[in-house]
Structure 1
C-alpha cells in the first residue's frame, strides 16, 4: 500500500511540475492571439520603435481632437475600423496593431506594448488639442499606462482588471503565478498617477474578467474622477453589440 501511495504521489508531482512548465513556456501563446493583416480603406501610418515597424490605422483624419484606442488580446483593428470610424466621426482615431498583429513586426510583450503606445502618443501629440485614450480588456492595461505617463483628456476602460497576475492566479490557484508570469499588466499600481476623468464599463455576464478583478481596480481610483456603467445581459466578447455601448462612450468622450 505504501508503495502505491508513493507512486501516486510521484505521478501527481510529475504532473504538477509538468503542467507548470507547460504553462510557463506557453504563457504568451495563452495571453496573446495575433490577428491577420487585412486591408482597410483608411489611411495608415508606420511608427519605428526599437527596431520594429508598428502599424497604426488612422480614422477620420484631420480633426483637432483625437482618440487612441487599444484593443483586446484577439481584437482585429482592421475589423473594428469601420464601426469605430462611424461612431466617432468628429475625432481622429488611432488604432495600433500590437507587435506581431496585423502588419506590425516584432514579438509582443508587456514592455514592448507600453513603449509602442507612448511612441504613438508622442508622435501624434502636436497634431491635436486634446487626446482621449480608450482600451478594452488587455488594452485597458495599455491605456492605463499611457494615462499614467502622459497628459490625457479622458480615459475609457472597457472590461478592465486590476492585474493579469491576479486574473491568472484565480484561474491557476495551485501555482505561484507571481513567479511564473512574465507579463503582469499591473494597472492598479498606476491608478495613483492618473489625473484624467475615467469611465469604466462592465459587462454584466463577463466570464473572462471576474467582477472582483474589476472592482479592485475601481477601488484604487478617486471616486470623484470615476464614472461606472454596466451593460446588462452582455459578456466579455459581445459587450459592443449592445446599442448602449457606443452611446455611453460617445456621451463620455464628448464632442470633437
Structure 2
C-alpha cells in the first residue's frame, strides 16, 4: 500500500518535471515563429553582414536625412509595413530588418544573437546617416529588442508598441502554475534596460491585448513616467496597426 501511495504521488511530480524540461528545451520554438515570414533574397534591398550570417531587409524612403530602425514581432513579416511607413514617415529612411531565421536572413533566432544583431543594425544605419538622428520602433517582441538598443545607443526617439516589462514576466502571467521565470532564457528585460531612460518615448497599447497583459505594460510604464501613452481601446494585439490612431500617433511623434 505504501509503495502504491508513493507511486501515485511520484507520477504527477515526474510529469510536472518532464513538462518543465520540455518547455525549457523548446522555448525558442515557442518564442520565435519565423515560418510564415520567409521570402526570397532577391526581394530584399538591404543586407548586414555579421560574423556568421547575413541579415537582410528593406529600406523604405531611401536617401532621406533622418532614419528609423524597426524591430518587429515574433511572427511578423516586417516588409508588410513598407507602404504605411512610406506615408507616415516621408522625411525618414526606414530600415526593416528580418531577424535571424526570418525573411531572407540566415541563421536561427536566439536572444543573445538578436540583441547583438540589433546593436550592429543600429550602428550600420547610423553610419549611413552621419550626424543625423536615428529613431527606433519596436513592436511586441521587438519592443524588448528596441529597449536594449535604446539603453546602449543614442536613439533619438523611441516608439514601443504593445510593450512589456520582460518576456519572462509575460510568460509567467500566461502560465502561473509553472516556474517560468526560472526556465526562460529568452528574457528581454525591457524594464531593466529603460529604467531612468531620459529620451522621448511613445508607448502604443491595445485595449484588448490578448498577448501582453496590461499589468506587464503598466510595470514598464512605471519606469517611464514621462512617456507619452496612446491607448487604442478597440484594438487587439495583432490588429493595432489597422486603427488610424496608430499611424497618426507615430507620425506625429516621429515628425
Correspondence for 2:98: 97
Mean CA deviation greater in 165-174 or 241-250: 165-174
Secondary structure of the residue aligned to 1:33 is coil
8 Å CA contact 1:134, 1:156 repeated in 2: yes
Shift of 1:36: 3.2
Matched, 1:196 2:199: yes
Distance in 1, matches of 2:11 and 2:77, equals 42
8 Å CA contact 1:43, 1:59 repeated in 2: no
8 Å CA contact 1:64, 1:127 repeated in 2: no
Correspondence for 1:249: 250
Correspondence for 1:70: 71
Mean CA deviation greater in 94-103 or 71-80: 71-80
Q: How many residues align?
A: 252
Distance in 2, matches of 1:18 and 1:210, equals 27
User: Which aligned runs of 4 or more in structure 1 are off by greater than 4 angstroms?
Assistant: 1-5, 39-43
Matched, 1:31 2:31: yes
Map residues 37-186 of structure 1 onto 2, 5 A cutoff.
37-38=38-39, 44-128=45-129, 129-186=132-189
8 Å CA contact 1:71, 1:137 repeated in 2: yes
8 Å CA contact 2:208, 2:236 repeated in 1: yes
Secondary structure of the residue aligned to 1:192 is coil
Secondary structure of the residue aligned to 1:17 is helix
Distance in 1, matches of 2:241 and 2:5, equals 52
Distance in 2, matches of 1:151 and 1:102, equals 27
The correspondence for 1:205, drawn from 188, 205, 208, is 208
Secondary structure of the residue aligned to 1:82 is helix
Distance in 2, matches of 1:40 and 1:242, equals 31
Shift of 1:40: 9.4
8 Å CA contact 1:138, 1:160 repeated in 2: yes
TM-score by length of 1: 0.92
Seen in structure 2, the aligned counterparts of structure 1 residues 41 and 250 have a Cα distance that, compared at 3 Å, is farther
8 Å CA contact 2:41, 2:104 repeated in 1: no
TM-score by length of 2: 0.92
Seen in structure 2, the aligned counterparts of structure 1 residues 40 and 49 have a Cα distance that, compared at 3 Å, is closer
Secondary structure of the residue aligned to 1:204 is strand
Distance in 2, matches of 1:127 and 1:179, equals 41
8 Å CA contact 1:167, 1:210 repeated in 2: yes
Seen in structure 2, the aligned counterparts of structure 1 residues 36 and 191 have a Cα distance that, compared at 3 Å, is closer
Seen in structure 2, the aligned counterparts of structure 1 residues 41 and 22 have a Cα distance that, compared at 3 Å, is closer
Correspondence for 1:15: 15
Secondary structure of the residue aligned to 2:235 is coil
Unaligned runs of 5+ in 1: none
Unaligned runs of 5+ in 2: none
8 Å CA contact 2:41, 2:56 repeated in 1: no
Give the RMSD, CA atoms, in angstroms: 1.9
